[in-house]
C-alpha cells in the first residue's frame, strides 16, 4: 500500500495513494505530487478526496453506477455488462459528470440523437429505457426531481418491427416438429406460431422411444392430422 505522510496546519496526517501492483510506482509518484500541490495551497488532500467522492455520488454516472450495483443483485452479470457498456458509450461522455438533477430533457435527447444519427434507432430506444430507470431511481433517493427520460417517449424515431413468416402448411409443420425434436441446443428454446391457430391437431411421430408422439394443439379443435 502506497501512503503519503504530510502535515497540514498543526496536524500530521497520511493518505493512501493506492495498492501495489494495481498502482505502479510511477502512478504513485504522480498522485504524491498532486497531493503535495494541494498541501502547498493549504488544502488537505484527504478532505479534497472526500469532497470529490461526495460530488461523484450526485453525478449521472455516479447515480447510474449505484443503480447498476443495485440491479446486479437480481440481473445476470451479462445483462449488467450490456447496460454498463451502453451507458458508457452513449451517455457518460456527454452527461456522466453532470449533477443528475440538473440534466434537462433536451440534453438527454441530444445524446440520443447522436445514436440516431448513426442509423441506430433501436439502440437509441434501448439507451433511453435504462436512462429512465436511472432518473426514476435518482428521484427516489432525492437526487433529482423528475424523470426527464419520460418526456422523450415520443421524441425518438419509431422502430419498424419485422414480422416473421409463420408456418401454416401441415406438411411443413411436421418438418418443423421433426427439426425441434432433433434440436440439441439450450432446453429453454421454445416456439409458438400462428400455425397453432390455423391448423387442427397435428400429430407427428418423431421417432421417439416407446412410440411417444408430439401433438400440436390449437384453439380451432378438430381431428388429429398426421404431418
Measured CA to CA, the distance from residue 76 to residue 179 in angstroms comes to 30
Look up the CATH number of domain 60-152.
1.10.150.130
Helical ranges in 153-209 per DSSP H: 170-181, 195-198
Summarised one tens digit per residue, pLDDT across range 124-134 is 999 999 999 99
pLDDT score recorded for residue 212: 44
Instruction: Delimit the domains of the chain by residue range.
Output: 2-53, 60-152, 170-226
Q: Mean pLDDT, consecutive 10-residue segments, the chain of 227 residues?
A: 89 90 92 92 88 76 95 95 96 94 95 95 95 95 92 89 70 76 57 44 43 44 46
Measured CA to CA, the distance from residue 205 to residue 44 in angstroms comes to 79
Measured CA to CA, the distance from residue 45 to residue 32 in angstroms comes to 10
Measured CA to CA, the distance from residue 97 to residue 59 in angstroms comes to 5
CB atoms within 10 A of CB 17: 20
CB atoms within 10 A of CB 63: 22
pLDDT score recorded for residue 217: 44
Contacts of 65 (CB under 8 A, 6+ apart): none
Cell numbers representing residue 170 in the block? 401441415
pLDDT score recorded for residue 221: 47
Summarised one tens digit per residue, pLDDT across range 174-209 is 777 777 776 665 555 444 444 444 444 444 444 444
Measured CA to CA, the distance from residue 28 to residue 35 in angstroms comes to 11
Measured CA to CA, the distance from residue 30 to residue 212 in angstroms comes to 72
Amino acid at each position: 500500500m502506497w501512503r503519503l505522510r504530510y502535515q497540514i496546519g498543526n496536524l500530521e496526517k497520511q493518505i493512501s495513494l493506492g495498492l501495489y501492483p494495481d498502482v505502479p510506482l510511477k502512478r504513485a509518484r504522480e498522485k504524491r505530487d498532486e497531493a503535495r500541490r494541494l498541501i502547498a495551497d493549504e488544502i488537505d488532500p484527504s478532505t479534497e478526496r472526500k469532497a470529490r467522492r461526495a460530488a461523484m455520488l450526485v453525478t449521472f454516472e455516479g447515480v447510474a453506477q449505484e443503480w447498476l450495483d443495485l440491479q446486479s443483485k437480481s440481473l445476470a452479470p451479462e445483462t449488467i455488462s450490456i447496460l454498463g457498456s451502453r451507458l458508457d458509450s452513449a451517455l457518460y461522455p456527454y452527461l456522466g459528470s453532470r449533477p443528475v438533477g440538473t440534466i434537462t430533457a433536451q440534453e438527454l435527447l441530444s445524446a440520443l440523437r447522436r445514436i440516431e444519427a448513426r442509423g441506430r434507432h433501436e439502440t437509441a430506444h434501448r439507451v433511453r429505457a435504462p436512462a429512465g430507470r436511472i432518473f426514476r431511481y435518482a428521484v427516489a433517493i432525492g437526487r433529482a426531481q423528475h424523470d426527464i427520460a419520460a418526456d422523450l417517449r415520443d421524441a425518438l424515431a419509431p422502430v419498424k418491427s419485422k414480422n416473421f413468416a409463420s408456418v401454416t402448411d401441415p406438411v411443413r409443420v411436421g418438418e418443423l416438429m421433426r427439426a425441434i425434436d432433433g434440436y440439441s441446443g439450450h432446453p429453454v428454446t421454445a416456439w409458438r406460431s400462428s400455425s397453432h391457430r390455423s391448423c387442427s391437431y397435428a400429430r407427428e411421430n418423431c421417432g421417439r422411444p416407446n412410440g411417444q408422439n408430439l401433438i400440436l394443439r390449437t384453439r380451432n379443435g378438430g381431428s388429429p392430422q398426421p404431418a
